[in-house]
């Protein structure tokens, strides 16, 4: 799934921490998108640490790519997808952990989040290649749905394996793996002693401690406009992750009908509701990433209900006439009401 951007606004100025500090700003390419990190380090040694930090971050990114990429034929996940058998398949600890987290969100969202919908996404023309001339015929969608469904993937944590209950089942972790990579990098930075940092991959963000000014980090949530880049809100946060998903730039039209890239696993077809973007604030970026996708499938009303049911801090932006309206969950209001949104 293509994820909506949430731009990190780290405002560097003089540091208010007891010791002088420098904000190292690092970045590169990964997973078909970009990664960025801001790491607050002691001024005297900050620049000398840059090669070590870049190497550590790129090592974590390579691990996730090696294991969970669907673009690489030699990745662990690609080999599983070619494993057209119901026999158990041995996974690394990291991939199995992402599969477990995926299932957690699938169960909590009653299947709105489903890592097996890839064949349907491609059938509707949202894979690589040009927009389709026509939507897929209903019989083709029905046939694909026979091999789609998170419940068709059995996970055995004790043995470190997963099994397909349908031999043609395929798994795509692109709606949770970037968030997992953010978590992995953040945790490695913290373990190395860098407890003030921001990590972002393709718009999924996790922050720790204070920003370079000694204040909460300021994370901008984009207004869902196709041709403009404007800010809807700025959230001031520390020690938390934020993920945003949306469909306002990834869709096509045929004969005046708009087809969203967000597929509803329950119908096998693009969603038709008014939700434009969903932002989830969570301690885990992997779970925020997955839940943001689930919200986009559920829509504004059902999404809010499920968010409240799962105690999720959620900001939903729905189309209303020529503008958008904000829909927030009680946990979101509780988190941001007193501090303000920036």
Average pLDDT value for residue range 100-129: 92
Residue that wins the pLDDT comparison between 294 and 44: 294
Q: Are 304 and 315 in contact (CB under 8 A)?
A: no
pLDDT band at 134 (very low <50, low <70, confident <90, very high): confident
What value does the mean pLDDT of the chain take? 90
Residue ranges in 38-86 assigned as alpha helix (H): 46-68, 76-82
Question: Does the structure show a pLDDT above 80 at 254?
Answer: no
Tokens of 83: 């494993």
Cβ-proximal residues to 340 (8 Å cutoff; 6+ apart), any chain? 236
What share of the chain in percent tops pLDDT 70?
91
Question: Does the structure show a pLDDT above 60 at 340?
Answer: no
50-108 confidence digits (pLDDT tens): 999 999 999 999 999 999 999 999 999 999 999 999 999 999 999 999 999 999 999 99
The CATH architecture one would assign to domain 8-51+195-336 is Roll (3.10)
Please report the DSSP string for 128-195 in residue order: SSSPPSSPPPHHHHHHHHTT--GGGEEEETTTTEEEESSTT-----TTTHHHHHHHHHHHHHHHTT--
321: left (phi over 0), alpha (psi -120 to 50) or beta: left
Question: Where in the chain are the domains?
Answer: 8-51+195-336
267-291 confidence digits (pLDDT tens): 999 998 999 999 999 999 999 999 9
Q: Are 303 and 275 in contact (CB under 8 A)?
A: yes
pLDDT score of 303: 98
Question: Does the structure show a pLDDT above 70 at 314?
Answer: yes
pLDDT score of 14: 34
176-235 confidence digits (pLDDT tens): 999 999 999 999 999 999 999 999 999 999 999 999 999 999 999 999 876 677 899 999
Q: Which helix (H) or strand (E) holds 221?
A: strand 217-222
Rounded CA gap, 309 and 303, in Å?
A: 10
């Amino acid at each position: 799934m293509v994820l909506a951007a949430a731009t990190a606004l780290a405002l560097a100025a003089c540091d208010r921490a007891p010791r002088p500090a420098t904000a190292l700003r690092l970045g590169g390419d990964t997973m078909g998108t970009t990664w960025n990190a801001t790491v607050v380090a002691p001024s005297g040694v900050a620049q000398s640490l840059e090669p070590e930090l870049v190497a550590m971050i790129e090592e974590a990114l390579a691990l996730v790519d090696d294991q969970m990429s669907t673009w690489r034929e030699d990745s662990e996940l690609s080999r599983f997808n070619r494993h057209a058998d119901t026999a158990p398949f041995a996974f690394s600890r990291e991939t199995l952990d992402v599969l477990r987290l995926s299932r957690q969100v699938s169960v909590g969202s009653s299947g709105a989040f489903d890592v097996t919908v890839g064949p349907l996404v491609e059938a509707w023309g949202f894979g690589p290649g040009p927009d389709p001339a026509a939507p897929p015929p209903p019989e083709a969608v029905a046939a694909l749905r026979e091999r789609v469904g998170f419940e068709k993937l059995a996970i055995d944590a004790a043995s470190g394996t997963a099994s397909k209950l349908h031999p043609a089942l395929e798994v795509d972790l692109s709606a949770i793996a970037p968030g997992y990579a953010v978590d992995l990098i953040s945790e490695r930075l913290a373990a190395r002693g860098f407890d003030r940092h921001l990590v972002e991959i393709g718009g999924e963000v996790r922050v720790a401690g204070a920003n370079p000014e000694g204040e909460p980090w300021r994370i901008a949530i984009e207004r869902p406009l196709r041709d403009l880049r404007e800010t809807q809100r700025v959230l001031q946060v520390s020690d938390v992750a934020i993920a945003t998903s949306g469909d306002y730039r990834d869709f096509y039209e045929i004969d005046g009908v708009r087809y969203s890239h967000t597929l509803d696993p329950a119908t096998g077809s693009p969603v038709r509701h008014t939700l434009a973007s969903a932002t989830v604030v969570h301690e885990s970026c992997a779970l925020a990433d997955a839940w943001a996708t689930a919200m986009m499938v559920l829509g504004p009303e059902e999404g809010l209900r499920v968010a409240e049911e799962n105690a999720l801090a959620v900001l939903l932006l729905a189309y209303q006439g020529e503008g958008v309206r904000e829909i927030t969950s009680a946990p979101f209001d509780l988190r941001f009401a007193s501090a303000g949104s920036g």
